[in-house]
Structure 1
Amino acid sequence: MALSDLTVADCWAYRPDLTVPEDLDAFWGRTLGAASAAAATYEPVDTGLTQIHTFSVTVPGYGGEPVHGWLHLPANATEPLACVVEYLGYGRGRGLPHEKLFWASAGFAHLIMDTRGQGWSAAPGGTADAHRYPAGTVPGFLTRGVTSPDDFYYRRLITDAVRFAQAAQEHPAVDPDRVVVTGISQGGGLSLAVAALFPGVAAAMPDVPFLCDFPRAVRVATEGPYGEVAEYLALHRDQSSQVFRTLSYVDAAVLAPGATAPALFSIAMMDRICPPSTCFAAYHRYGGDKEVRVYEFNDHEGGEAHQQLEQLAWLRKLFGR
């Protein structure tokens, strides 16, 4: 591997002047205001595990459409818990109920959101994108409805993500003042968007975040989903302005100044999927207190288990326990 983007020093200096739509706040106010306020449902799941209780979750997401997930709770919990809400990487679904146990093992409630229409890669999903597409549809999601902010796929997905954070805050086993959003890649971008759009978030932990600084990402990423936009524009040569306008409504770097919760970022300097400069763009623009862990010799895997330990220590310090 080698650097395919800016150096660390150049990334610290990189502060792009991103275009912010004049109606950005109105767009998201209208979108989230129309989201269903119906309560989430939780069905117990027998995983065979004795120290963690697991529930299959259904949250009404964009358009009231059912979005599935898992909730893990430590079996010995006696008081409301801090909750980590996790959003998943591009292509992943919620997977099997016993796959992600780290946060519940550390004493947190852990709510995992399935990703509508995705779930074709490492972990299967069970949530259709009822707008048009069944679960497990193969990419690309970055060009679905990309000529209109109202029709764009990520409008629906970000709405789902906000609804999951709200559902966590409303669960009786959760302390509503300690809801944390996190995720890797696509999940990192979603956590940034939720931190900006939902003031109830107590902290955000975006890892190697996707959905950041689209004007640069589409031009410099050498692998991964950003290339879908480049391929689309290679065919639709007259739609560049329209497409980048739509992308600006969901760009986590554009939304980031609206966040006020403390954040812990991670960025990998040899990342060929989410170029580090684009992640730094979101970091620099983030509105709350922030820290970053930079992995100089890692690709898109970033910090992996090392970063989880960083996150755990950071949260315990933040929450004072």
Structure 2
Amino acid sequence: MPAPSPRHEIAHLGHVELRTPEPEKSLDFFVNVLGLTENGSQGDSVYLRTWDDYEHHSVKLTAAKTSGVGRTAMRASSEAALKRRAAAIEERGLGIGWVDGDTGIGPTYLFRDPDGHEMEIYWETERYAPPDHLRPSLKNQAQAYPARGVCVRRLDHVNYLAQDAASNGGFVCDALGGRVTEQIQLDTGVISGQWTNFAQKSYDLVYTNDWTRNSGRLHHIAFATDTREDILRAADIALDKGVFIETGPHKHAIQQTFFLYVYEPGGNRIELCNPTARLIFAPDWEPVTWTEAERARGQAWGLKTIESFHTHGTPPARS
């Protein structure tokens, strides 16, 4: 009997660890500007959740000497799928091994992508049980709407910087069962960016080439807002709170996302986005490829991509 297809064996992006050299200021940003809710702490880390993610936490904020991304966690679609993906990663020589799960998750398989970003897959999870003051009136909602700051709805995607976007995107497809939905191809033939998904949401993990030729860096993590108007309001909130706005509000041509990019106090880039992504239902979807000339026209409404979008990443580049 042939091995089952890896497609859909990763159910979704679970949570992400973000490192910050300014833990108190970063925590204030995530709680009071973005509107996340604290859900416990351990050691140098605080667990934070958006109001519509169903699991224990969406972000693990960890005090560190520098900024950047720690582990990115993905939930498998079953225990059997978890074991199959672990075996596939082992075959490619990128596995680290089985570890006890972090707060809120069960046995976890730890590994790295080809660029060195640390990742983990798990199956067992703790569903969030809100205390009385956060209990929603609508029983199909994970938590009451916090009515604080931007009130981001859920963790949406992670965009990594990498020395070779295509090899990392290929790993996501071959080992994790992802699919490339859109990509950028330069005139030289080099793939400079790939957007990959696991289910119907058009992207979950993104890789773009790091112009500094460093490895293991983060471009941004993104949170979905409930409406496009929330993005506009977020710009006003950022202005009032002294949060650095890098670019936006505007609309991407790739994936058609309405966006705002800001830097949190630790230096990590944060995207607020809506719609979070187009939905792709076609089982035989072919990647949309954008040429260098098409990208030179700028974003959907003509604004050119700003220089810092190609140079700023975390941790800061090593010379």
* Higher percent of residues as helix: 1
TM-based fold match above 0.5? no
* Higher percent of residues as strand: 2
